[in-house]
């Protein structure tokens, strides 16, 4: 069979292959290159595409996790007031008892012992009483013939005057005495500020001097103490010593 130009139709494929011959190898190379490119894309997608979810799932270091994020909710309500009553505060009296030692009801006083000599010129002597030298006396002398000695001058007495104390109250009076005739006992009457005579029987002897203690009530400031005995012989007196009890 021939075509219009008088060539055989069966020869066209051969001619076409001859015309495409120089391009065939290029087409094959291009196809292989294209296939390799597609394969590379598929492999890259396979390798890196699966890692993307992992990268998404693993947050960077320091990023907060979902468990660290609190969802907003209703604001917490104020706690209900406690039904327990508040603890009672200590009373002022209790605080005072625990703050330190209790205070004294009267201020501390520094007084005594103070010695008053019987023969001191400021004292008053009356009746048969008089000053005499005597061995062993603190000032070298005593006041003797105190009491009832049947003297025409009357009963002898010795009054210690101007005895001043800082506070009123009870004081200890120590009377130092001697019995010249060596009598075993004699009675003396002690009167403070002219009131409440207090008779006291004292034991002693002729050796000077014996000290005997008794309690007396003194008022604040100036006081007087009188030694006497209207009913008999009183001991001779060397001195008195006054102190707080």
Superfamily of 114-243 according to CATH: Galactose-binding domain-like (2.60.120.260)
CA distance 25 to 18: 13
pTM above 0.75, yes or no: no
Q: What is the pLDDT of residues 156-175, one digit of tens each?
A: 999 999 999 999 999 999 99
CA distance 18 to 7: 16
CA distance 19 to 102: 134
Tally of CB atoms within 10 A around 233: 19
CA distance 49 to 42: 10
pLDDT class for 36, splitting at 50, 70, 90? confident
Q: What is the pLDDT of residues 178-236, one digit of tens each?
A: 999 888 999 999 999 888 899 999 999 999 999 999 999 999 999 999 999 999 999 99
Contact at 8 Å (CB) between 205 and 237? no
Q: Which helix (H) or strand (E) holds 51?
A: helix 51-57
Which residue, 131, 128, 153, is CA-closest to 140?
A: 131
């Amino acid at each position: 069979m021939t075509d219009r130009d008088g060539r055989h139709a069966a020869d066209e494929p051969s001619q076409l292959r001859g015309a495409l011959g120089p391009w065939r190898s290029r087409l094959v190379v291009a196809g292989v290159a294209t296939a390799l490119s597609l394969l590379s894309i598929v492999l890259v997608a396979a390798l890196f595409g699966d890692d993307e979810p992992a990268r998404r799932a693993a947050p960077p270091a320091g990023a907060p996790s979902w468990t660290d994020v609190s969802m907003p909710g209703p604001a917490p309500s104020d706690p209900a007031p406690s039904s327990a009553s508040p603890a009672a505060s200590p009373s002022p009296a209790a605080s005072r008892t625990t703050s330190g030692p209790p205070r004294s009801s009267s201020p501390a006083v520094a007084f005594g012992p103070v010695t008053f000599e019987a023969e001191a010129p400021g004292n008053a002597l009356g009746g048969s009483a008089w000053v005499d030298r005597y061995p062993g006396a603190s000032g070298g002398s005593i006041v003797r013939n105190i009491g009832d000695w049947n003297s025409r001058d009357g009963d002898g007495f010795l009054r210690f005057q101007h005895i001043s104390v800082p506070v009123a109250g009870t004081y200890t009076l120590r009377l130092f005495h001697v019995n010249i005739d060596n009598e075993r006992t004699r009675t003396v009457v002690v009167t403070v500020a002219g009131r409440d005579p207090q008779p006291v029987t004292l034991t002693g002897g002729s050796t000077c001097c014996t000290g005997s203690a008794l309690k007396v009530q003194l008022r604040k400031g100036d006081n007087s103490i009188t030694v006497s005995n209207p009913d008999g012989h009183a001991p001779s007196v060397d001195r008195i010593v006054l102190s707080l009890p």
